[in-house]
Structure 1
Amino acid sequence: MTMSEERPPICSQLIFPILLRPILHKVERHDPMAAQILMNAIIKAETQEPGLLLEIVNSILKRRDLTVNMTESLLRLQAHIPEFDDQKCKRQDEPFQELNRKTYSLKKILSRIPDEINDRKTFLETIKEIASAIKKLLDCVNEISNSSQQTSSTDRTALEKRKREFIKDSKKFSQTLKEFFRDGQTQPVFQSAAQLIYATNTIQRTVRTKFDLTVK
């Protein structure tokens, strides 16, 4: 599949956190103010024109005459990026710190899929790890929701919505695995894994903005 044929929407949502955020982190070490201005501009541009960052990246690749499976590449890159401070919950309460660990762990496991998918024995073990990581993350989210009495019902509803989306994406991922073992098509697995990474990021961001009082 060529770059021009593959343009799954999920790529647009992961270009910033997986590809551009690590680059900005390097800028940040030398000039924090410039990095923040650049980050705000990029986020604003992507918000106003969804898919703009993906178009820019694809344009660069095209000019270099490169053919890239974008979803697979983003998954592989996820394996090498750290969890940045502006993604983490700041509260030191154990459920919040545990959420930081569980989201990071799940994304790391999902990033191994391109390297392991064609090794059946290894991949089956990885699937078990993913299922366990999903359950632990949901348990953590439930604990935060149930224990955060100071949070408004509106914020709880927002987290509940993100949790439902995460569960839906988890079920979709499970379905693509069944289809993979039947027909051997890897691309749907890559796409659903990438979608699950996005859903994981969204849950963490929702908890950070709605439940983390130190951020407010």
Structure 2
Amino acid sequence: MATASNENSNTVMKSVVSAPLHLGLFPALDGLSKQYDIETVERLKEAFTEAEKSVPGFTHELLNGVIQKEVPNELSFTKSLLRMSGQSSQEYALNRKEKEFIKLGEQAHTLKRILSKIPDEMSDRPRFLQTIKNIASAIKDLLSAVNDVFKRYSTRSNRRALDVQKKEFVKCSKAFSDTLKSYFKDGSEVPVYVSANRLIHQANAILLVFKMTSPD
């Protein structure tokens, strides 16, 4: 018989984190509901979700391929994805009333919103430097919120899964910092956008693992 922690772990494994899927493709599919029945649209969502689970990054490549045919520019898609990734998504919403969970959701949204502004602020050096400071503060605040929520979990398997995701976020944060250092040396924008998207991905992953893993 599966324990609650095992069931939570399995649920997390079956879930998928993908901004292109939830913020790019799903809204487009929802628009089809005016022409097709909702059941058909939901089946399409399930099919694309399964494809994303089987091949992580599938939706990113799909949308990139479509956009490249219209606008053959890597920078265009990467910037658009980053701008889009600052939006809220129900897939990562923490539907809990405890203040720790509410704060975690708010801090994650703040970080994603600041990161999504990077494409529009890089050309203004003073503004961009302030944005970098804001990102550093938002990362610190998010980790503090994670630690507060973490205290509600005591089961070893649950804490292990949460701790793994936290470490991945920290690793990604350090990689983002290194990418910024390189940017100020060579001026290459695309790696910054890619790294920012990865950091948003990890923030969403943190939200998802807490959403799918119930406190003890």
Q: TM-score range, shorter-chain basis? A: 0.7 to 0.9
Figure out how many residues of one structure are paired with residues of the other and give that number. Answer: 198
Residues 20 and 199 of structure 1, relative CA distance in 2, 3 Å threshold: same
Confirm or deny: 8 A CA contact 1:18 1:77 kept in the other structure. Answer: yes
| 1:19 positional shift | 1.3
Whether 2:213 is the aligned partner of 1:195: answer no
Structure 1 stretch displaced more, 112-121 or 175-184: 175-184
Confirm or deny: 8 A CA contact 1:98 1:140 kept in the other structure. Answer: yes
| 1:23-62 matches, cutoff 5 A | 23-26=28-31, 33-62=39-68
> Structure 1-normalised TM-score?
0.81
Structure 2: state its 5+ residue gaps. Answer: 1-16
| 1:63 positional shift | 4.0
Residues 148 and 195 of structure 1, relative CA distance in 2, 3 Å threshold: same
Whether 2:70 is the aligned partner of 1:64: answer yes
Identify the residue that residue 149 of structure 2 maps to in structure 1: 144
Question: Which whole-Å deviations, capped at 9, do the CAs of 1:97-119 have from their partners, x for residues lacking one?
Answer: 11111111110100010111121
Question: Which whole-Å deviations, capped at 9, do the CAs of 1:23-61 have from their partners, x for residues lacking one?
Answer: 345567996544433221111122223343234323323
Residue identity opposite 1:36 in structure 2? E
Identify the residue that residue 184 of structure 2 maps to in structure 1: 181
Question: What RMSD, in angstroms, separates the aligned Cα atoms of the two structures?
Answer: 2.5
| 1:138 positional shift | 0.4
Residues 44 and 92 of structure 1, relative CA distance in 2, 3 Å threshold: same
Q: Distance in 1 between the 2:124 and 2:211 partners?
A: 37
Structure 1 stretch displaced more, 115-124 or 43-52: 43-52
| 1:91-102 matches, cutoff 5 A | 91-102=96-107
Aligned match for 1:73, one of 54, 72, 80: 80
Question: Which whole-Å deviations, capped at 9, do the CAs of 1:142-199 have from their partners, x for residues lacking one?
Answer: 11111334xx211111110010010011111111112212222222211111110000
Q: Distance in 2 between the 1:46 and 1:211 partners?
A: 25
Question: Which whole-Å deviations, capped at 9, do the CAs of 1:115-137 have from their partners, x for residues lacking one?
Answer: 11121100111111111110111
| 1:62 positional shift | 4.2
Structure 1: state its 5+ residue gaps. Answer: 1-11
> Structure 2-normalised TM-score?
0.81
Structure 1 stretch displaced more, 85-94 or 15-24: 15-24
Q: Distance in 1 between the 2:21 and 2:31 partners?
A: 14
Q: Distance in 1 between the 2:64 and 2:93 partners?
A: 29
| 1:22 positional shift | 3.1
Residue identity opposite 1:99 in structure 2? L
Q: Distance in 2 between the 1:97 and 1:47 partners?
A: 28
Residue identity opposite 1:186 in structure 2? E
Structure 1 stretch displaced more, 86-95 or 197-206: 86-95
| 1:209 positional shift | 0.5
SS in 2 for 1:90: coil
Residue identity opposite 1:72 in structure 2? K
Residues 118 and 203 of structure 1, relative CA distance in 2, 3 Å threshold: same
Confirm or deny: 8 A CA contact 1:176 1:192 kept in the other structure. Answer: yes
Confirm or deny: 8 A CA contact 1:155 1:210 kept in the other structure. Answer: yes
| 1:65 positional shift | 5.5
